[in-house]
Structure 1
Amino acid sequence: MPDLPDSASGEGDEAPAEIPVAGRPPVTDAERRRRRAQFLRDLAEARELRDRVQPRRAKAARLRHAMRMRTFRW
């Protein structure tokens, strides 16, 4: 079909490294790492909060983790 772009043929399905957004400069590696670090900090804080407000679930999770570690083969 001549009205379809070449990329619709199924060949070369690699994802582009960066999709430019109008009015926004491309994201640098440093910015991406900074945002990822902030996300991981927020995630850890949310897990700590959940463990404080649901101590029974946190204890069960600790016991499951300990069992996995005991049965893990190095």
Structure 2
Amino acid sequence: MGLTCEVGAGSLSFVWTLQRLDPERRRRRIQLLSELADAKSVRVRLAPRRARGDQLRDLIALRRRLAG
């Protein structure tokens, strides 16, 4: 749903009206929001694993610098 603002000629009052999205657009929007939620849940689930990998790479790089 989208909000539109209509202003009458010479009037400072705003009239907010709610527009219904057409069914196809609404379906695509729901699908997109669902895919975004799925992507976020995957990111949150993999974050600790990625952080451990980053930490190990940093430690390996540090050891190589100290050894070289």
Band of TM-score, shorter chain = 0.3 to 0.5
Q: Which has the higher strand share?
A: 2
Considering only CA atoms, is the larger Rg found in Structure 1 or Structure 2? Answer: 2
- TM-score for both structures, normalised by structure 1: 0.40
Higher relative CO (Cα under 8 Å, sequence separation at least 6) belongs to: 2
- Structure with greater helix percent: 2
